[in-house]
């Protein structure tokens, strides 16, 4: 690891992919690949051709790994932080997947893509739940039927209840001190919405 004016260069191997990552002390988990992110990825199955969203991408670890497996043209990444977006863009180039789609966006606001097989997110769970609420509700609508939302946090009950209310069910794994949530879209509308009357 090298450091210059707040920037660091990390070498890591994630899901069998060797990564060289630029980070910065102003970004999330600047000294190592976050353990929560690794916990989430340990449950994710990525295949070639999958359409994938890295929601809240930070320096780009998840999206870059996904792009190396699924193909860079199939991966979309977003973050609300301009430094994160620029760093993720440089890291994608550095790791040979410069064709990924990266957006400066609050959640999905500036992202027009949909029909995702996977949405992967490590949301800012130390703050209030408004960000995660948007990720879950908007994420449901951006998944294709059968697509899955993966989320990792240190909190269990609120996420469990919210995901069940939207998706109708959730699978929960406790891994390395984190909760990994997996919810699959099985219908056109939220689970807690009544069918419209004719």
Query: Which parts of the chain sit beneath pLDDT 70?
Result: 1-5, 26, 28-30, 126-127, 194-198
- Identify the CA nearest to 174 among candidates 40, 14, 56, 15: 40
Beta strands in 32-129 (DSSP E): 52-55, 75-79, 101-104, 116-121
- Identify the CA nearest to 27 among candidates 104, 79, 100: 79
Amino acid 197: pLDDT: 43
Amino acid 4: pLDDT: 52
Q: What is the dihedral of CA 118, 193, 191, 55, to 10 degrees?
A: 20
User: What does the DSSP assignment read for 71-83?
Assistant: -GGGEEEEES-HH
Amino acid 29: pLDDT: 65
pTM metric for this prediction: 0.92
| Residues 101-158: tens digit of each pLDDT | 999 999 999 999 999 999 999 988 766 788 999 999 999 999 999 999 999 999 999 9
Q: What's the burial of 35, exposed, middle or buried (CB within 10 Å: 0-12/13-18/19+)?
A: middle
The Cα 181–Cα 138 span in angstroms is: 16
The secondary element (H helix, E strand) that includes residue 109 is none
Amino acid 187: pLDDT: 95
Amino acid 6: pLDDT: 73
């Amino acid at each position: 690891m090298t450091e210059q004016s707040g920037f660091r260069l990390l070498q890591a191997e994630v899901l069998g992919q060797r990564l060289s990552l630029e980070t910065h002390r102003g970004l999330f988990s600047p000294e190592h690949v976050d353990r929560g992110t690794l916990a989430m990825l340990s449950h994710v199955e990525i295949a070639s051709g999958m359409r994938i969203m890295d929601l809240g991408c930070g320096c780009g670890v998840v999206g870059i790994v996904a792009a190396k497996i699924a193909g860079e043209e199939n991966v979309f990444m977003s973050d609300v932080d301009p430094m994160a977006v620029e760093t993720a863009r440089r890291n994608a180039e550095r790791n040979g997947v410069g064709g990924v789609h990266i957006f400066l966006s609050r959640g999905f606001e500036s992202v027009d893509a949909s029909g995702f097989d996977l949405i992967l997110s490590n949301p800012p769970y130390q703050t209030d739940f408004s960000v995660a609420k948007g990720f879950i509700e908007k994420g449901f609508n951006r998944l294709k039927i059968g697509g899955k939302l993966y989320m990792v946090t240190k909190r269990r009950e609120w996420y469990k209840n919210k995901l069940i209310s939207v998706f109708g069910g959730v699978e929960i794994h406790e891994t390395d001190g984190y909760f990994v949530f997996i919810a699959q879209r099985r219908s056109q509308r939220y689970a807690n919405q009544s069918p419209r009357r004719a």
